[in-house]
Copies of this chain bind each other. A is one copy, B any other.
Amino acid sequence: MSDLKTQFEKFFYPKSIAVVGASEKAGKIGAEIFRNLAFYDYKYKDKVYPVNPKHDKIMGIKAYPKIEDIPDKVDLAVVSIGAKFIPDLVESCGKKGIKNMVIVSGGFKELGTEEGKSYEKKMIENAKKYGVRLIGPNCIGVLNAEIGLDTFFQSHEHMIRPKPGSIAFLTQSGTFGCSFLEWAAESPVGISKFVSYGNRSDVDEADLITYLDQDEKTKVIAIYMEGLSDGRKFMNAAKTITKHKPIVVLKAGRSKAGARAAVSHTGWLGGSEKIYDAAFKQSGIIRVNNFEELFDAAKAIAMQDYAKGPRIGLVSNGAGPMIMAIDEIERRGLELPQISEDIEKQLKEKLPPFYIVHNPVDITGSATPNDYEIVLEHLAKDPNIDILMPFFVFQNTLIDESIVDVMEKINKLGKPVIGGSAGGPYTKKITDAIESVGVPMYPIAERVVAAAQALYINGKNLNK
């Protein structure tokens, strides 16, 4: 194992955890973290130790006044006590051999006060001195669905947890963390590792992507960031990684006011937008424009192979969304090629004469699931087409649930498939079923095309 792999292993696979600041008082951060770890899905929940000098027991479990009082070995400390106590706690952890700490507490650099800055400085000094690695402060910490681990203070009633899967999500904002994880929980994709890193006073994005690069469970890394502390370190790491593992980034603070707000949120300088844009591009990073696009792109990459080129084959039983898709394909620099002559000929022979067999293929309101099968099978064979993009009007009575089997079959033909549909309960039912057989679906054409673009950029990176 590399150094980083050894150092980070216990953030994600701890077999015992101390919760420093565990409390009885519902709603208090230390209470919620302890409850979530000791009473829910964490594989080693019998090895969760509350640390609190004022109570003998927390929620019926023996508490320890100080971390050094815990008789057992502790792999990870999760901390929610006041900032001023934390530098000393880092020292105690180091001495006890606890090399991994998640600092949930705020009250550091992000306040902009001299006091806050000095706590952060001392905390880092002690961490370096004792060889302790820190995630945070001012964050919600880590999740590893594989062993039911999370250090969150969000209750299970208010926030569902995702299943294990292939997307890693790193985020400076805990809020986006909660939303992303719940969206994943309600979709067919799962999460490999999650880190909300807040002020990132020690472990930073470059460290994390380097660790995740070696993590076999992770197929794609998604990141929400407000600014980088060490841009060069991150870009250098990213440049190597994106050649074999895609990285999708949403960076906030594009506007002047947004950049100022980002600084005050986690206390880091933003840097110029133009520099970021160029550096992302050079590093093979897939940059997205908003939070939905971030999830959409990660989902597409997790569910589908990369695209070998930018050429899209469109088919639909309703024209409106296709026309929006055509606009977006042009805007994003993708292509809508002619269908190969012989494929077009075959399609015309097999389809009713009033279907319009160009690209897009308009199979009209009369289309059946079988018509989709015919068209998509042929487009999958067409050397002119790299990405299959069906849109569906499931409201049309002639489209029934057999479309799910069709899509399962089409999804095995060796070309990426990505689709669109928008509607109510029946549409949602069929859409979910299609996603469950592996085809990612989105409600509007712009989001389908944006996700397809991510598959294309990923393909370009991998084949460099």
Pairwise interchain contact B397-A154, C-beta atoms closer than 8 A: yes
Bound: A159/B226 CA distance, A: 42
Let me know if A326 and B159 touch, CB within 8 A.
no
**Are B252 and A397 neighbours in the complex by a CB distance under 8 Å?**
no
Determine if A186 is an interface residue (Cβ-Cβ < 8 Å).
yes
Query: Interface segment, A4-12, A254-262, A378-386?
Result: A254-262
B323→A261 contact, CB < 8 A: yes
Q: Is A426 among interface residues, defined by CB-CB distance under 8 A?
A: yes
Q: Give CA–CA (A308, B117) in the complex, Å.
A: 42
Are the C-beta atoms of B252 and A323 separated by less than 8 Å? yes
Q: Is the CB of B153 within 8 A of A397?
A: yes
Shortest distance between the CB of A223 and any CB in chain B (Å): 12
Q: Check: A44 CB closer than 8 A to any chain B CB.
A: no
Inter-chain contacts of A397 with B (CB < 8 A): 26-27, 32, 153-155, 158
CB-CB under 8 A from A320, the residues of chain B are 171-176, 224, 226, 252, 265
Other-chain contact of A185, B179, B319, B324, B424 (Cβ < 8 Å)? B424
**Which of B172, B173, B264, B327 meets A252, CB within 8 Å?**
B327
List the number of copies, as a whole number: 2
| CB 8 Å contact bits of A356-394 with B (1 = contact, 0 = none) | 100010101100000000000000000000000001011
Q: Is A75 an interface residue (CB 8 A)?
A: no
Please, which residue of chain B has its CB at the minimum distance from the CB of A324?
Answer: B252
Which one of B160, B291, B445 contacts A424 once the chains associate, using CB atoms below 8 Å? B160
On chain A, the number of residues with a Cβ less than 8 Å from chain B's Cβ atoms is 81
A422 proximity list for chain B (CB < 8 A): 179, 182-183, 291
Question: What is the minimal beta-carbon distance from A188 to any residue of chain B, in angstroms?
Answer: 15
Quote the shortest CB–CB distance from A230 to chain B (angstroms).
Answer: 21
A290 touches B154 (CB 8 A): no
- Could you tell me the distance between the alpha carbons of A303 and B219 in the complex, rounded to whole angstroms? 43
Separation of A397 and B336 alpha carbons in the complex (Å) = 48
Interface string of A416-434 (1 = CB under 8 A from B): 0000001111110000000
Contacts A364-B106, A427-B182; A258 near B173 (Cβ below 8 A): no
* Given A175-B318, A422-B179, A424-B160: A330 in contact with B257 (beta carbons within 8 A): yes
Chain B positions within 8 Å of A155 at CB level: 397
Answer yes or no: A165 CB below 8 A from chain B CBs. no
Asked if A90 CB lies within 8 Å of chain B CBs, one says no
Say whether A173 contacts B319, CB under 8 Å. yes
A29 interface hit (Cβ, 8 Å): yes
Does A321 lie at the interface of the complex (its beta carbon under 8 Å from any beta carbon of B)? yes
Give complex CA distance A319, B196 in Å: 13
Q: Is A398 an interface residue (CB 8 A)?
A: yes
A444 within 8 A of B: yes
- One of B106, B258, B354, B443 near A323 (C-beta < 8 A): B258
| Chain A window 168-193, contacts with chain B (Cβ cutoff 8 Å), 1 for yes, 0 for no | 00011111101100110110000000
The answer to the question of A248 belonging to the interface, with a C-beta cut-off of 8 Å to chain B, is: no
Q: Please indicate the chain B residues that have their CB under 8 angstroms from the CB of A319 in the complex.
A: 173, 175, 261, 265
A107 proximal to B (CB < 8 A): yes
Look across to chain B and name the residue whose beta carbon is closest to the beta carbon of A179. Answer: B422
A14 at the interface (CB under 8 A from B): no
Q: Taking the nearest CB of chain B, how far is it from the CB of A394, in angstroms?
A: 6
CB of A73 within 8 A of chain B? no
Within 8 A of B (CB), among A256-289: 256-258, 261-262, 264-265, 289
Task: State the CA gap A292–B424 with chains docked (Å).
Answer: 14
Q: Inside 8 A of A256's CB, which chain B residues have their CB?
A: 330
* A83-106 at interface with B (beta carbon < 8 Å): 106
- Interfacial chain B residues near A182, Cβ < 8 Å: 395, 422-424, 427
With A178-B395, A291-B321, A319-B265 given, is the CB distance from A426 to B257 under 8 Å?
Answer: no
Contact yes or no, A258 B175, CB < 8 A: no
Other A-B pairs beyond A175-B393, A183-B422, A261-B319, 4, CB < 8 Å: A106-B365, A175-B391, A224-B320, A258-B327
11 interchain pairs, CB-CB under 8 A: A157-B426, A160-B426, A171-B320, A173-B323, A175-B318, A183-B422, A185-B424, A255-B330, A258-B327, A265-B319, A289-B446
Pairs of residues from A and B, 6 with the lowest C-beta to C-beta distance, nearest first: A173-B320, A175-B318, A182-B424, A255-B330, A179-B422, A258-B327
